[in-house]
Amino acid sequence: MEQAAFLKEYRCEASFQIAQEKGLTWGELMRIAERHENNRALYQSEARRHAETIRGFTGIHTVKHRVKDTEHLIEKIIRKMNKPDVSIDLENYLDEITDIIGIRAIHIFRADSEVLFDQICRQYKKSFAEKPVVKMRNGDDVTPYQKMINRGAAVEFAERYRSVHYLIRLKSNAKIELQTRTIFEEGWSAPDHELLYKHSDNKHLLITSSLLSRMAGNCDDLVQMMYEEAAATKDREPDADVKAGGAQPTCEPGERIAEVTEEILAIDDDNCAENAEAAGFSARIAENTDSDFEKQAELAGFLTRFIKNN
């Protein structure tokens, strides 16, 4: 790992200069990298074992795991050293870097996060390095997570991100960052991480990612409505997996679909010339919530034009 090439590739020359001023040397970073590589097999074994445990929990759709890449570990240490009162070296980096192992547990229904919360707490509460954190997008409703909050989960709001985080300390002192999120939240997260990881200052990417995050949340609302409509159908019983969705219908599914359709079309960009069209289109959809295929195609076409124009 050559210093100049690394700092240029990860755009962290200025951050490393600050880290150096606080006493972090490139040699110390290389010693951390060597120890991390020496422990990689142990971390991989732990990641597989805990991922398999979580895979057996009720409400799980998919589980992914990884051990942090060494170069990304070094970059994260450099950037974290820019924070006030943070000092990292070979002896304490496992205390400061909390995602040496990462596990993502994907579920279908938003309400499954509560089902998983119960199981994760039973399995890992004694090993929690901190209390669970519900990370929500600014403006999100906390109601689906209220029971978790009442049981001690913290809440954090961000511009785009949604997930529930658990921090689990292993005997080796390394930590697992366990994230639970819906399929649609994962659908937003994957391209956001891939495209914004090294381009977080790109305004156009940030705006588009924020729009995608908003739409992912609306998709989760629609998925829950699908569950509620299925549960309200008297001639069949939802299967066991669907029951994990939790909440029972609180109003007519058609009314809820109309509300969310309007929200999807009223995406909050005051400068968007499409807003007038969105308002009119939303009103037409709300008049007939049993939209036929032609109206659905019109909705898809509108959203495509909206995204292209923004």
Residue 304 in this model has a pLDDT that exceeds 80? no
For residues 60 and 151, state if they share a domain: yes
Phi, psi (degrees; rounded to nearest 5) at 107: -130, 170
Mean pLDDT calculated for residue range 63-84: 95
pLDDT digits (tens, 9 = 90+) for 182-220: 999 988 888 877 787 666 678 888 888 888 888 888 888
Q: Which two tokens stand for residue 271?
A: 């400068």
260 vs 162, 193, 224, 257, 267, CA distance in Å? 19, 27, 11, 5, 11
**Is 78 in contact with 16 (CB distance < 8 Å)?**
yes
How does the average pLDDT of the chain come out, rounded? Answer: 81
Which residue range forms the structural domain that includes residue 245? 203-308
Of 130, 161, 196, which one is at a domain's C-terminal end? Answer: 196
Give 31's Cβ-side CA count (13 Å radius): 11
Residue 189's pLDDT is 82
Residue 129's pLDDT is 95
pLDDT digits (tens, 9 = 90+) for 35-56: 999 999 999 999 999 999 999 9
**Is 191 in contact with 212 (CB distance < 8 Å)?**
yes
Mean pLDDT calculated for residue range 13-18: 94
- Other C-beta atoms closer than 10 Å to the C-beta of 159 total 10
Strands (E), 147-289: 154-158, 163-169, 175-182
Nearest CA among 268, 263, 307 for reference residue 281: 263
Mean pLDDT calculated for residue range 148-156: 94
For residues 213 and 113, state if they share a domain: no
Strands (E), 16-100: 62-67
pLDDT digits (tens, 9 = 90+) for 250-296: 455 555 555 655 655 555 544 444 444 444 444 444 454 444 445 45
Residue 299's pLDDT is 53
**Is 266 in contact with 303 (CB distance < 8 Å)?**
no
189 vs 8, 29, 216, CA distance in Å? 26, 29, 10
Of 196, 229, 264, which one is at a domain's C-terminal end? Answer: 196
For residues 111 and 247, state if they share a domain: no
Of 178, 196, 214, which one is at a domain's C-terminal end? Answer: 196
pLDDT digits (tens, 9 = 90+) for 84-140: 999 999 999 999 999 999 999 999 998 899 999 999 999 999 999 999 999 988 888
Mean pLDDT calculated for residue range 58-85: 95
